[in-house]
């Protein structure tokens, strides 16, 4: 991707926070009143990546990894300590109105809608703030409310909406002005499964129809797996992986998981692969990819074999393995080459 | 539709002058606050009743005392009524417009929802200073205006067009000083969260504005003119209305307010650049 074609370009991005610290107890608290100690936390260290227009990208990482801080620097809310960020051709921290009209941020744990008013009043307010002309406003509102099925919901006070209904209205409010870049910070947090699916489907459809670049952080791996062809793994403020989920799986957990139920199991299944579970008539193995056809053939031949399945390792397991690895820092070598 | 035309309908060619935009924006913010006030009928009428009650409570003692008021440091009884009117108007504007906006903005900072305010394509400070509004407290402003009119009509001071103009200019300077002071308080809450009590301190300090500048010893008079410009907000506008203030002094007061405004703006820019948001 050429620099000119990139919608988001990040070079050597760093963010350091000065955080007060003290020991436990009253004495330490009183001492901190007079003389407070600070410690510098490097929340983001030397990030480099670029995103093409229309890409859907997921930021993955454990709590405190620097995902949200990065997202907020891209949105222009936090000023970087060092490095360079460019989004839609603008430096986000300048917070120029022309830039702010091109981006939107939805946070699952914070709301922009006024609690006491129906969402429709909030939408009208956004129409004024973003200077959307009435014809476009009407068209977009109709489109978004139809896609998210909130035609009636938006007329009830926000405080009376369920979490899922509120999140749908938050999405409408965030998209009315047609942002080119959409930042989503845990948009499905706390939602039930069917609502999560609905929101995911909407985001995918919105991206496909409008070509907006979507950057997502989520603790629900299913969100990221379903929505983002590309993931950036951030840990300890550093970019540890940039590529597809498949590439990450191949790199971290290359073995495939094969499970079967049978009337009698082989006496020594370790010859086929690593035994994950052997319980009653059920056997679960981790098998090297090149040996899968051979192992499947052997398992099918077992007496009364049924429920034979071959899976990739679950993403949660991949992430657990990734963040638990001592040698994880070595993954840096894969950055940018693992699609 | 694709990324290229996503912003269709919000592009530059469709936008009018910035002043008009900000007027529309402030009107929309005030409309949102009014809609919120109207959302709960019982709360709306209770607020209204309390607003009226506070106005009467604030003004009633003056009516009782007016016959017994002697001169205070050169101020006659009707001149003191003008001063009380100026104070009541300013206090009404503070409780109707500035105080709720400061509290709401401090809550935004505390909860991290200032993120949404700062992401809007408009001046963040304007958005913060107009984000909440208590319409019933405007009754106090009307009460204050009535006192000023009564004091000027019934008093002995000659009311001139120049005096009225000087009063308006000084009043505007006082309002600017009040807002600048409010912004500095807001900026302090970026560094130390949970400073909502500061708005009460501001309210308490404003009570000094009930009195003429002349009752304060010189040091306090300097303090309340140049550092915490309470006298610029009430005493001097009243003096200007009464035709006692020279244009030189009016210009000095306007300069004090303008300086405060510049300081407040610089403090705001610095605070926003240091804003770290709240973790989610």
Mean pLDDT of B229-235: 86
Please judge whether B119 and A105 are an interchain contact, meaning their C-beta atoms are less than 8 angstroms apart.
yes
Mutation pick from A20, A62, A91, A101 vs chain B, by most beta carbons of B within 10 Å, is A101
CATH of the domain at A119: 3.40.50.300
pLDDT for B1 equals 44
pLDDT for B12 equals 47
- Rounded Cα distance between A324 and A327, Å, is 9
User: Is A328 within a domain?
Assistant: no
Q: Which of A138-142, B4-8, B81-85 bottoms out in mean pLDDT, i.e. has the lowest?
A: B4-8
Same domain flag for A68 and A110: yes
Residue spans per domain, chain B = 17-273
Same domain flag for A85 and A25: yes
Same domain flag for A306 and A160: no
Same domain flag for A214 and A280: no
Contacts of B124 in chain A (CB under 8 A): 95
Mean pLDDT of A203-209: 92
Q: Which chain B residue shows the shortest CA-CA distance from A127?
A: B10
Q: What pLDDT band is residue A339 in, cutting at 50, 70 and 90?
A: very low
pLDDT for B234 equals 87
Q: What burial class does residue B231 get, using C-beta atoms within 10 Å of its C-beta: 0-12 exposed, 13-18 middle, 19+ buried?
A: buried
- Average pLDDT over chain B reads 84
Same domain flag for A270 and A183: no
Q: Which of A199, A229, A249 is the last residue of a domain?
A: A249
User: Is A9 within a domain?
Assistant: yes
Which tokens is A14 given?
Answer: 């760093």
Query: B48 CA to chain A: closest CA distance, Å?
Result: 19
B53, pLDDT greater than 70: yes
Is pLDDT larger for residue A312 or for residue A108?
A108
Is pLDDT larger for residue A95 or for residue A332?
A95
Q: What pLDDT band is residue B69 in, cutting at 50, 70 and 90?
A: low
Q: Which chain B residue shows the shortest CA-CA distance from A185?
A: B280
Same domain flag for A135 and A33: yes
User: Is A329 within a domain?
Assistant: no
Same domain flag for A173 and A260: no
Q: What pLDDT band is residue B49 in, cutting at 50, 70 and 90?
A: confident
A328, pLDDT greater than 80: no
pLDDT for A338 equals 46
User: Is A337 within a domain?
Assistant: no
Express each pLDDT in B88-139 by its tens digit. 899 899 999 999 999 999 999 988 889 999 999 999 999 999 999 888 888 8
Same domain flag for A274 and A245: no
Q: What is the domain range of residue A307?
A: 255-311
User: Is A327 within a domain?
Assistant: no
Same domain flag for A42 and A126: yes
- Number of domains comprising chain A: 2
Please judge whether A104 and B119 are an interchain contact, meaning their C-beta atoms are less than 8 angstroms apart.
yes
Q: Mean pLDDT highest for which of A105-114, A330-339, B37-46?
A: A105-114
- Judge contact between B18 and B121, C-beta under 8 A: no
Same domain flag for A100 and A229: yes
The sign of the dihedral angle between the CA atoms of A246, A251, A256, A257 is: negative
User: Is A143 within a domain?
Assistant: yes
Q: Which chain B residue shows the shortest CA-CA distance from A109?
A: B280
User: Is A317 within a domain?
Assistant: no
B270, pLDDT greater than 50: yes
- Rounded Cα distance between A136 and A141, Å, is 8
Task: Provide the 10 A C-beta neighbour count for residue A263.
Answer: 10
Please judge whether B121 and A111 are an interchain contact, meaning their C-beta atoms are less than 8 angstroms apart.
no
Mean pLDDT of B80-84: 88
Q: Which of A213, A233, A249 is the last residue of a domain?
A: A249
Mutation pick from A7, A97, A140 vs chain B, by most beta carbons of B within 10 Å, is A97
Mean pLDDT of B157-170: 90
- Judge contact between B224 and B212, C-beta under 8 A: no
- Rounded Cα distance between B199 and B267, Å, is 18
Is pLDDT larger for residue A25 or for residue A78?
A78
Q: What pLDDT band is residue A1 in, cutting at 50, 70 and 90?
A: low
Q: Which of A199, A217, A249 is the last residue of a domain?
A: A249
SS3 sequence of A78-90: CCCCEEEEEECCE
Query: A221 CA to chain B: closest CA distance, Å?
Result: 18
Which tokens is B48 given?
Answer: 């209204």
Strand A282-287 with A274-279, pairing: antiparallel
pLDDT for B74 equals 74
Same domain flag for A84 and A172: yes
Please judge whether B119 and A72 are an interchain contact, meaning their C-beta atoms are less than 8 angstroms apart.
no
Mutation pick from A131, A147, A217 vs chain B, by most beta carbons of B within 10 Å, is A131
How many Cβ contacts (< 8 angstroms) between chains A and B?
A: 126
Is pLDDT larger for residue B6 or for residue B171?
B171
User: Is A23 within a domain?
Assistant: yes
What DSSP string describes A239-262? Answer: EEEEE-HHHHHHHH--PEEEEEE-
Same domain flag for A159 and A205: yes
Please judge whether B10 and A132 are an interchain contact, meaning their C-beta atoms are less than 8 angstroms apart.
yes
Mean pLDDT of B44-64: 74
Q: What pLDDT band is residue A176 in, cutting at 50, 70 and 90?
A: very high
């Amino acid at each position: 991707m050429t620099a000119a074609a990139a919608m988001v370009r990040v070079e050597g991005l760093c963010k350091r926070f000065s955080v007060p610290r003290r020991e436990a107890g009253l004495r330490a608290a009183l001492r901190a009143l007079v003389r407070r100690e600070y410690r510098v936390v490097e929340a983001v260290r030397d990030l480099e990546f670029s995103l093409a227009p229309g890409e859907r990208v997921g930021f993955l990482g454990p709590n405190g990894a620097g995902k949200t801080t990065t997202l907020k620097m891209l949105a222009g809310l936090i000023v970087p300590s060092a490095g360079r960020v460019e989004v839609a051709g603008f430096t986000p921290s300048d917070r120029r109105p022309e830039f702010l009209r091109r981006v939107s941020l939805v946070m699952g744990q914070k709301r922009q809608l006024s609690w006491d008013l129906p969402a429709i009043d909030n939408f009208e307010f956004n129409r004024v703030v973003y200077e959307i002309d009435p014809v476009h406003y009407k068209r977009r509102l109709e489109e978004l409310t139809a896609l998210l099925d909130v035609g009636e919901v938006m007329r009830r006070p926000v405080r009376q909406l369920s979490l899922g209904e509120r999140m749908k209205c938050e999405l409408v409010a965030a998209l009315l002005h047609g942002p080119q870049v959409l930042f989503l910070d845990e948009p499905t947090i706390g939602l039930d499964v069917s609502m999560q699916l609905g929101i995911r489907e909407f985001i995918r459809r919105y991206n496909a129809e409008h070509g907006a670049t979507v950057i997502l952080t989520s603790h629900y791996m299913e969100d990221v797996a379903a929505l983002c062809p590309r993931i950036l793994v951030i840990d300890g403020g550093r970019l540890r992986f940039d590529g597809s989920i498949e590439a990450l799986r191949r790199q971290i957990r290359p073995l495939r998981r094969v499970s079967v139920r049978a009337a009698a199991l082989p006496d020594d299944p370790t010859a086929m692969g690593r035994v994950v579970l052997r319980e009653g008539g059920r056997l679960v193995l981790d098998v090297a990819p090149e040996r899968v056809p051979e192992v499947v053939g052997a398992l099918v031949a077992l007496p009364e074999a049924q429920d034979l399945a071959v899976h990739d390792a679950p993403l949660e397991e991949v992430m657990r393995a990734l963040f638990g690895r001592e040698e994880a820092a070595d993954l840096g070598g894969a950055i940018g080459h693992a699609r | 539709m694709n990324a290229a035309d996503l912003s269709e309908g919000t592009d530059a060619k469709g936008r009018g002058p910035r002043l008009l935009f900000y007027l529309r924006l402030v009107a929309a913010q005030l409309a949102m606050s009014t809609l919120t006030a109207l959302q709960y009928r019982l709360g709306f009428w209770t607020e209204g009743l309390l607003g009226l009650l506070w106005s009467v409570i604030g003004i009633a003692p003056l009516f009782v005392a007016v016959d017994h008021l002697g001169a205070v440091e050169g101020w006659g009884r009707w001149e003191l009524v003008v001063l009380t009117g100026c104070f009541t108007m300013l206090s009404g504007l503070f409780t109707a417009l500035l105080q709720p906006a400061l509290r709401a903005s401090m809550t935004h900072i505390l909860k991290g929802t200032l993120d949404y305010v700062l992401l809007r394509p408009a001046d963040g400070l304007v958005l913060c200073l107009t984000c909440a509004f208590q319409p019933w407290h405007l009754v106090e402003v009307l009460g204050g205006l009535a006192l000023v009119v009564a004091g000027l009509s019934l008093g002995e001071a000659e009311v001139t067009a120049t005096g009225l103009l000087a009063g308006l200019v000084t009043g505007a300077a006082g309002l600017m000083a009040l807002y600048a002071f409010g912004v500095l308080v807001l900026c302090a809450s970026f560094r130390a969260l949970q400073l909502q009590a500061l708005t009460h301190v501001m309210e308490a300090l404003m009570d000094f504005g009930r009195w003429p500048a002349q009752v304060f010893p010189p040091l306090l008079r300097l303090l309340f003119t140049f550092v915490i410009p309470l006298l610029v907000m009430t005493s001097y506008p009243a003096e200007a209305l009464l035709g006692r203030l020279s244009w030189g002094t009016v210009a000095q007061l306007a300069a004090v307010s303008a300086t405060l405004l510049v300081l407040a703006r610089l403090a705001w820019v610095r605070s926003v650049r240091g804003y770290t948001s709240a973790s989610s």
